[in-house]
Amino acid sequence: MLKGIPKILSPELLKVLAEMGHSDCIVLADGNFPAESMGKNAIVIRCDGHGIPELLDAILQVFPLDTYVEHPVNLMEVMAGDTVETPIWNTYKEIIKKYDNRGDETVVSIERFAFYEKAKTAYAIIATGESALYANIMLQKGVVV
C-alpha cells in the first residue's frame, strides 16, 4: 500500500497510468462494452465489481487531462432513436470539475461507432462492472506539471 494513492487503483492500473504519455487515451468501459475485442492492441485491465464513477474519481487524482485539446473527455453518444437516460454523465462532470477547472468544457459526446474506432487506438481499456447504459468514457492524458 502507498500513502496518498486511492486504494481502488491496483498496482497494474497504476503502472499503466504511469506508462501513458501525453495524448495517450484510456477508456473506462461499462459492463456491456466489448473491451477484449476493442482492446486487441491495448492493455485491458479488469476492474469487475467497480463502477466507473469511483474509478474516474481515483484516476483523476493522479492523471491530468490534456490541456492542448478542446475535449480531452469523450462520452459515447446515445444512438438515435434510443430513449436511454444518461444521468451518470452528470456524475462524471461533477467529478471532472473537482480536478480540472475547465469542468464541462472538457467533455464531448461522440457517435457510438466513432467512439469504438477511437477506443481501438487507446493505450488501455479498463473493463468495469458499471451497469449504467452509455456509461463509457475516454480520457486523454495531459502533461504532469
Q: What is the CATH number of the domain that holds 87?
A: 3.40.1650.10
| Residue 94: inside a domain | yes
8 A C-beta contact, residue 110 and residue 72: no
| Residue 17: inside a domain | no
Give the mean pLDDT of 119-128: 98
Tell me the whole-structure pTM to 2 decimals: 0.96
68-107 per-position pLDDT tens digit: 999 999 999 999 999 999 999 999 999 999 999 999 999 9
Is pLDDT above 80 for 112? yes
| Residue 6: inside a domain | no
Answer yes or no: 66 catalytic. yes
CB atoms within 10 A of CB 14: 16
| Residue 1: inside a domain | no
Q: How many domains does the chain have?
A: 1
Answer yes or no: 123 catalytic. no
Q: Would you state the pLDDT for residue 2? A: 83
Q: Would you state the pLDDT for residue 110? A: 97
Q: Which of 66, 92, 123, 134 is catalytic?
A: 66
| Residue 104: inside a domain | yes
Q: Which domain holds residue 43?
A: 22-140
Q: Which of 71, 99, 104, 116 is catalytic?
A: 116
Is pLDDT above 80 for 1? no
| Residue 4: inside a domain | no
| Residue 74: inside a domain | yes
Q: Could you give the percent of the chain with pLDDT greater than 70?
A: 100
| Residue 117: inside a domain | yes
List C-alpha distances in Å: 110 to 5, 78, 99.
Answer: 31, 9, 22
Answer yes or no: 22 catalytic. yes
